[in-house]
Amino acid sequence: MDNTLQDLLHYAAKQSVQINGIAPRRLPGRGYGMVATRDVRAGETLLEVPTRALRTLATVPKAISRKLDHDVSVHGILAAHLVLEDVEDDAAWDAVLPTRDDLEAGMPLLWPPRLRELLPTPARTALQRQQTKLNADWERVKAAFADKYESKDEDAKERNTQKPWGLTKSNYIRAWLLVNSRTFYYTTPRSEAALPSHDDRIAMQPVADLFNHTADCGCKASYTAQGFSFVADRAYEQGDEVPISYGAHANDALLVEYGFVLDDNRWDEVSLDAVLLPKLSTSPGGLVREDLEAAGFWGSYMIDAATPGGCYRTQVALRRLLCGTTRTAKRAAWQQFVEGGGDDDNEDEASKKDLGDLLLECLDGMAELAHTLLAKLERLGKAGIGTSSQRSLLALRWKQIEAMVAQAAKTLREGQDPKDREGAV
């Protein structure tokens, strides 16, 4: 174990953090993670972090929080605390936080615009929300602490130093992303009354923020007034990585919020919006779009491994497109389908074939789009746009999309829709 982790564990012990059967380790190519130091049994409590060790709104000095309480999210306030307050006792914790260079490798917020433009639709949408929230927090923090604001960002040699960081935009963005990617949901009766927004009920905690994410199970986290505890969900052998789950997130969400994607993610899905929305938008007079918007079904058309035929929203949109704009009877049948919650028992075989052909056209379109963007990424690499880490991560995501739509198309062409298989048993 390196000295940085040794210092962290010493710091954690002083904060009464209890570690049992696991320890942080450097994982090749993946930063830090938690590893079993002995064989672990299911149900064992592996980590306990007391409330006194947490960073929450309550631990932010009043000199900072009082200036920001009414204008800035708790997320933004915690970020301001990181850049404005130099607490020597927390240095060991701060030393294991990702540097800006670490964040730039994975966080699309820090990528060049020409790479961000190539993100899949859900990732671009999430990134726009993230950027809007960050900008609002930054402008208010900068205004509240104008006397501490440094208009010139640190040069490259200063980018990865530890605190005190100084209130520059670059430093604030780094702190904001650290809070974004390393906090846990946390609330108390008092904070529930004071913080009505779910997003504001967050806490940072030492050691626990080194757990990596898994899509399946992982240690169970819980909290009480005394603090957090993490319990083994299953048996682990000595040397195994011990993860937790950050939630049921698709890879586009993981990419934007945490800066990575999983190779095997049962929650992953692909948006067909890039190819389906243009088709839906070309009807005369915008009638198709008008109907879908009125019914609450405009956009977010997804497929995943379990539903190669598309989610309910996708089915609604495809059926509306097939109705056209002049076929009153078919449009009425579509409205009945929507009102019936997806009941297609009365649909004839010809209509089902048309529906399948249209979906396959969309899947083929997504495959072609993935192929085109992967080729564009290669050209951007030759032009020196972005880093190799950034381009590789984005290429990996598009290869995942390419593989998922190819598998969905194969399943549909072979008539292997999961609903058909269930009925054949």
SS (H, E, C) the chain: CCHHHHHHHHHHHHCCCEECCEEEEEECCCEEEEEECCCECCCCEEEEEEHHHCECHHHCCHHHHHHHCCCCCHHHHHHHHHHHCCCHHHHHHHCCCCCHHHHHHHCHHHCCHHHHCCCCHHHHHHHHHHHHHHHHHHHHHHHHCCCCECCCCCCHHHCCCCCCCCECHHHHHHHHHHHHHHEEECCCHHHHHHCCCHHHCEEECCCHHHCCECCCCCEEEEEECCEEEEECCCCECCCCECCECCCCCCHHHHHHHHCCCCCCCCCCCEECHHHHHHHHCCCHHHHHHHHHHHHCCCCCCEEECCECCCCHHHHHHHHHHHHCCCCHHHHHHHHHHHHCCCCCCCCCHHHHHHHHHHHHHHHHHHHHHHHHHHHHHHHHHHCCCCCHHHHHHHHHHHHHHHHHHHHHHHHHHCCCCHHHHHHHC
Q: Residue 267 class from Cβ within 10 Å (0-12 exposed, 13-18 middle, 19+ buried)?
A: middle
Mean pLDDT of 308-320: 93
Residue with tokens 């009354």: 193
Report the amino acid identity of residue 10: H
What pLDDT is recorded for position 327?
A: 67
Dist CA 70 CA 143 (whole Å): 13
Count of residues making up the chain: 425
In degrees, to the nearest 5, what angle opens at C-alpha 217 toward C-alphas 216 and 223?
140
The rounded percent of the chain whose pLDDT value lies above 90 is 72
Ranking 166-180, 255-269, 275-289 by mean pLDDT, the lowest is 275-289
The tens digit of pLDDT for each residue in 76-91 reads 999 999 999 876 678 8
Asked if the model's pLDDT at residue 61 lies above 70, the reply is yes
Dist CA 245 CA 232 (whole Å): 12
Mean pLDDT of 380-405: 97
**Greater model confidence, 70 or 22:** 22
Dist CA 138 CA 179 (whole Å): 14
Contacts of 13 (CB under 8 A, 6+ apart): none
What residue ranges define each of the domains in the chain, with the CATH number in brackets? Answer: 1-54+205-268 (3.90.1410.10), 56-200 (no CATH), 270-424 (no CATH)
**Greater model confidence, 33 or 194:** 33
Other Cβ atoms within 10 Å of 371 Cβ, number: 12
In sequence order, the β-bridge partners of residue 40 are 236
Dist CA 367 CA 183 (whole Å): 36
- Give 360's pLDDT tier (boundaries 50, 70, 90): very high
What pLDDT is recorded for position 388?
A: 97
Contacts of 70 (CB under 8 A, 6+ apart): none
Dist CA 3 CA 391 (whole Å): 32
The tens digit of pLDDT for each residue in 321-348 reads 988 766 677 788 888 888 877 666 667 7
- Give 71's pLDDT tier (boundaries 50, 70, 90): confident
Dist CA 89 CA 92 (whole Å): 7
Residue with tokens 């007391």: 50
Asked if the model's pLDDT at residue 40 lies above 70, the reply is yes
Contacts of 175 (CB under 8 A, 6+ apart): 78, 79, 80, 82, 83, 165
Mean pLDDT of 40-51: 97
The rounded percent of the chain whose pLDDT value lies above 70 is 90
- Give 282's pLDDT tier (boundaries 50, 70, 90): confident
**Greater model confidence, 87 or 12:** 12
Handedness of CA 79, 133, 377, 30 (dihedral sign): positive
Average pLDDT taken over every residue of the chain: 89
Q: Which tokens go with 165?
A: 């960081």
Cβ 338 vs Cβ 300: under 8 Å: no
The tens digit of pLDDT for each residue in 128-165 reads 999 999 999 999 999 999 988 887 655 444 444 444 56
- Give 417's pLDDT tier (boundaries 50, 70, 90): low
What pLDDT is recorded for position 166?
A: 84
**Greater model confidence, 263 or 159:** 263
Decide: pTM greater than 0.85.
Answer: yes
The tens digit of pLDDT for each residue in 160-195 reads 444 456 899 999 999 999 999 999 998 876 666 666
Nearest to 172 by CA among 131, 130, 129, 138: 138
Cβ 124 vs Cβ 113: under 8 Å: no
